[in-house]
Amino acid sequence: MHPGLLVLGGFLLGTAGVKAACSRPAHRAYVRTTVWGLQAKDYVERVVDEAKAQCDDIMAEAQYVKTVEDAERDADEVIIGQTVVEDEDGDVTVAEETVVEEKE
């Protein structure tokens, strides 16, 4: 086959391809594909927002449970007495004597 014919065939095929890419049906296909892409993007964003909301709920509940448990643990400690000691330098030290009550 003659190389000039190959070049001419490639040119014609390229021209026809550009013409087909600019046609009305091709334009509609590009628009529909873009719409599907935008719908997929919106869906993914909604799923991510829901996951973030669930994580925030879990963190808030965990912080609440930790606060309650810390308060219960602190309530179990009974201060028997306090001793205030002052050094020669004027530093004040507070010594507490505590007893932890066992839960039954």
Strands (E), the chain: 77-86, 92-100
Q: Which two tokens stand for residue 72?
A: 């219960």
Average pLDDT, the chain: 78
CA distance 8 to 97: 100
Q: Give how far Cα 4 sits from Cα of 8, 9, 12, 34, 63, Å.
A: 6, 9, 12, 39, 77
CA distance 69 to 94: 26
pLDDT value of position 76: 62
More confident residue, 52 or 30: 52
Q: Chain centroid to CA 49: how far? A: 8
Does pTM surpass 0.85? no
What's the whole-number mean pLDDT along residues 3-7?
Answer: 73
pLDDT value of position 62: 92
